[in-house]
Every structure is written in structure tokens, then in C-alpha cells.
Structure 1
């Protein structure tokens, strides 16, 4: 795989300097260039160029995400307009997207140059608020979430222009199959194979209206309109608050196949670890307690 310009996406607070230096040393011996975006200028080291955001996202041949799932989701969103492969290095705890740990990074880099890996396509959601022309991309989920003291989420739903029903709940979650193990799972929604196509719509703590998860096909367009008594819920994309909504606001969501590409070295083993990690979520133990038991807490 010809990767001449490697873009790094760093966890916002974790110390990733050792990994950045390792990648830079490797690139120096493989005719490669390592770059950061402007937002990470303060964390640059010698030999790592800093590019403005537009140049960064349009000229990299691949990205390496150093962090947890949130960092990797951010990396995928950065290049969603023109997807390139993203390698995830898990610097956190129970990561589901990132496949390798920091100690596996040198071997992973060597496998890249000899094409000893596969590319795993990931679907996404195109989210538009109020008829916006440029969509926001979500790789896990988009959620309309209740803000304490600002009223419950009350919204009507239409599928392909046909009224379907209404929700009154604490949150309304629209998830990709990959994102089914995130907020959707916590709200009692089903786990869906990443190979499936379509969108999950799941209410959290429903009080009236539609109370069960719904699976929509990949070609169906979803529209959610806030009702007069809706309050001012937050609009979250992959867990990040993008703003607050008001009665009458409309959120449109459509499915986008192959919105991002993830580097995989052993897809079967990764899926097995995902199932194990998902089962660990049901244990009443903190990450440090899991480590004491010897359970795997990194990818």
C-alpha cells in the first residue's frame, strides 16, 4: 500500500508522544511523511509537518488514530468527503473500533507497506438540520437528547415522506449497524451485524408513542420534526453536541454506504474481541478492576 503522507489524529488529552515519535522514525525509513492538522500544532515534534485543516484532509493517503473510539470516529469524519484508510491504535480502555494496541504499532506499520491487511468499509449517516445543504456525517449515531430541565424529546417521524408516528422519550437515537453497540445498546436496542445495511431508530426511556426500536432499510430517508411541546433537546453526532433544537426544527437522516474505510489485520479475531468486550459492559466493574482480573481492556 503506497502511503506517502500519513496524517495523525491525536487523543485530545492523552500523551501520545511516544507513538508519534515511533511513527515518525518508521516513516523516515520508508520514504513517508508524517503530518498533523493545525489543531495539534502544540503537540508536534521535529520532522512532523503541520498543515491547515483543508490541506490535511485532502492530501493524506491514510490516517492513524491515536486514542479511543471517539478519536477514531473523529478521524473517519475528517475524511468522510474523500475517504482514505484509517488505522486505529487504542490508547484507551474498551475500544470497539481500534484493532491494535500501542505495543503492536511497529508490526502494524510494517504490514501496511506489504499490503498484509484488509480494508473494512463502514457506513455512515448523513445528518441535515433544517434543510442544510452540507450534511454532518455520523459513523456511530445521531441522537436528539433531553437536556435536564428543558423538557422531554417529543417528535414526529416520517419515512420517505410518509408519517410513521411520534415519540416522547428522553432521547431518540438513530444508529448505524456499527453504532448499534454504542448508545443504541445502552438504550436497550439490538446489536446488529456491521455487515448489515440500514439505520436503527431507538427511543431511550420512552414515555408514550413509539416505544420499540425500528430498523429502516438503506434506501429509506428519515425525517424527525420536533413537536410544539418538545423543549430544547441537544443534537449529538457521535457523542458530540452540535447544537440545541427547538420546536418545529427538522432533522433529516439518510444512510451512506462506504462512508469510511478502516484498516483491519485480522477481522475474525477483532470481531471475537468485540463480542468479549460487549459482554464486559454488563459487568459492574471499572476498567481498573477489569485489568486486575486479567480481562482485555485494549484492542
Structure 2
């Protein structure tokens, strides 16, 4: 589809939260699209959730058409949007309709301004790596567990064709640097800088075998093998429904760098917000360090309020 000058129209693709109402943000986006002469598309399954002004298309057409993807939801919605455009020249802009939103910089109240900055080119692109395992892609993690509840998992580890021992415990997590602050962190694994092209393998409640996190590089070929002859395992990708890992089967995992770009308007603000969110997950910060996380204008406002509420003779 072209405009009157013959140039292709900008196509914005919407990926929306399955439950939360996002119509207010959809209206902001469709108003913006009318103003700049863009087209807004979404999956046909989301037709009732995005309203009549949004063109609905088949999933395979969606990935082919979009120039920018806008995710309206939380981190789960954002991860799903990122998986749709792996390896394509279509950055993802996240709008937080969820809870913590580690990946997401823009709130619904900031969306209109963010779209204007997008038009003006006042943004940067933040590349994200992913894990590829066969035909599945994970931006956070792949978690391998037993198919039977309350049962342990045994996995052999092979790296670059060499065997490196085995895991036995509740589960094994393979994660990207982005996913290192999720289940990996809860299981005692390290927080990895997004600038590090690395994969972390972390056992959950290890009973024997490898008991610590193993960090591997982007060029390492990782194989996690189910050594059993009769016990099936399962693995989940970014928390989505599980896939089977049959007895004797291998799960080959590789890190793909620069798989998707995320739109960033203010990297410093995003990092500051994430630092606050991480502090809520019990990172070891002192009280004075927590105070540093509060923006300076709010600190000054709080101090003025405290001074105004002191009794006139408080120094006596």
C-alpha cells in the first residue's frame, strides 16, 4: 500500500495483552497514524481488542508488513512481540500495561510524546540477543523440567561436542543476559550485563552433578540431553506452554546476538527505573543507596515538605 506520492506507508504493528484493556493506547496510536499517514495492523485474533480502525492480518503477513511493532502489555507481551520479528528490520516499542516492565520504557501517559519522538527520529535502538533452540526462540530463558510434577530432572551437558557432566535437580535454566534478572536470579544465578554476549546455565535446587551456574559464550554450541530411556522431560520458552523433550532427545541451544532492536528514548531513565525495580527484588542496597534512586526533583520536593512541617521551635 502506497500514499499519494508513491512512497510506501509506514506500517505499525500492534501486539496486545490478552486480558488487560489497551483501547486508550490503541486510540492514541490510530490518531497518530491518521496524522502521519500510517497504517496500523494487528493479528486477526485481536480484532475485538483493538477496534475497527486497526487492519487485521494473518500472523505470517503481520511479520512481513510491519515497520515498527508496538507492544501494549507487560514483559510477557513484549517478549512475544520480539519473537515475532527476530532477524527483521522492525524495532519494537513497548508501552507498559503490565506490572514491573523491565523491558519497557514508555508508560501509557507518555505514548503520544513517544510517537512524536519516533517520527522526529529522536530515539536510539537497543539490540537484544536471544536463544535459539530448533524452531523456538527465547529472549529471557528456556527452562527444562520434569514432565511429572514434583519429580527431579536429569540432563547431560555437552559444549562444542565435548561432554561436561550432568545436572540433577528441580530444573535447569538457560538464559540470556536480559533473562538473567528473571527465574535465573530467583534461583541464585548471576545478573549478567546486557552488553555481555553470554548464556547462563543455572541449576534449580541441584541434588548432584553441576551445582553452580555455568557461563558460556556466543559461539558455544550447547546441547542439553535427556539421558533417560523412558522418562520424558519438558521445556518452556519465556514462560510459554511447555514443549516435550523425549527420552534420549537433545535440545541444542545457541545465542543469537542482535536478534531484535528495542526503541529507547532515554536510556538513563530506563536504567534508573530498572534499578528501582531490581531493588524491589532484594538486591543488596543500603538505605542511602535506595535514596539515590529517587529522582532529584522529588528528593528536593520531599525535603521542602519536611522543612515546612517542622514546628517553629523545633531547634529549642
TM-score w.r.t. length of structure 2:
0.84
Give the secondary structure class of the aligned counterpart of 1:27.
helix
Give the secondary structure class of the aligned counterpart of 1:269.
helix
2:44 corresponds to which of 9, 34, 38: 38
Could you list the runs of 5+ residues in structure 1 that have no partner in the other structure?
A: 129-134, 284-293
Distance in 2, matches of 1:95 and 1:66, equals 11
- For 2:68, the equivalent position in structure 1 comes to 62
1:212 aligns with 2:212: yes
- The 5-angstrom pairing of residues 10-21 of structure 1 reads 10-21=16-27
- CA deviations over 1:186-222 (Å, ceiling 9, x no partner): 1110001111111111011111000000110110010
* Aligned residues of 1:153 and 1:230 also touching (Cα < 8 A): no
1:203 aligns with 2:199: no
Shift of 1:142: 0.7
- For 1:231, the equivalent position in structure 2 comes to 231
- The 5-angstrom pairing of residues 127-276 of structure 1 reads 127-128=133-134, 135-149=135-149, 151-228=151-228, 231-276=231-276
- For 1:91, the equivalent position in structure 2 comes to 97
Mark the CA change 1:83 to 1:242 in structure 2 (over 3 Å): closer, same or farther: farther
TM-score w.r.t. length of structure 1:
0.89
- CA deviations over 1:216-253 (Å, ceiling 9, x no partner): 01100100101217833321101112322232121000
1:126 aligns with 2:153: no
Shift of 1:136: 1.1
Structure showing greater radius of gyration is 2
Distance in 1, matches of 2:231 and 2:254, equals 25
Shift of 1:114: 0.4
Number of residue-to-residue matches in the alignment:
278
Distance in 2, matches of 1:203 and 1:222, equals 15
- The 5-angstrom pairing of residues 286-297 of structure 1 reads none
- For 1:288, the equivalent position in structure 2 comes to none
Distance in 1, matches of 2:239 and 2:150, equals 19
Shift of 1:33: 0.8
Give the secondary structure class of the aligned counterpart of 2:95.
strand
Higher RCO (C-alpha 8 Å, min separation 6): 1
Shift of 1:17: 0.8
1:49 corresponds to which of 55, 58, 61: 55
Distance in 1, matches of 2:230 and 2:23, equals 46
- For 2:118, the equivalent position in structure 1 comes to 112
Give the secondary structure class of the aligned counterpart of 2:241.
strand
* Aligned residues of 2:153 and 2:171 also touching (Cα < 8 A): yes
Q: Which range moved further: 227-236 or 3-12?
A: 227-236
Distance in 1, matches of 2:156 and 2:19, equals 39
Give the secondary structure class of the aligned counterpart of 1:240.
coil
Shift of 1:148: 4.8
Mark the CA change 1:238 to 1:149 in structure 2 (over 3 Å): closer, same or farther: closer
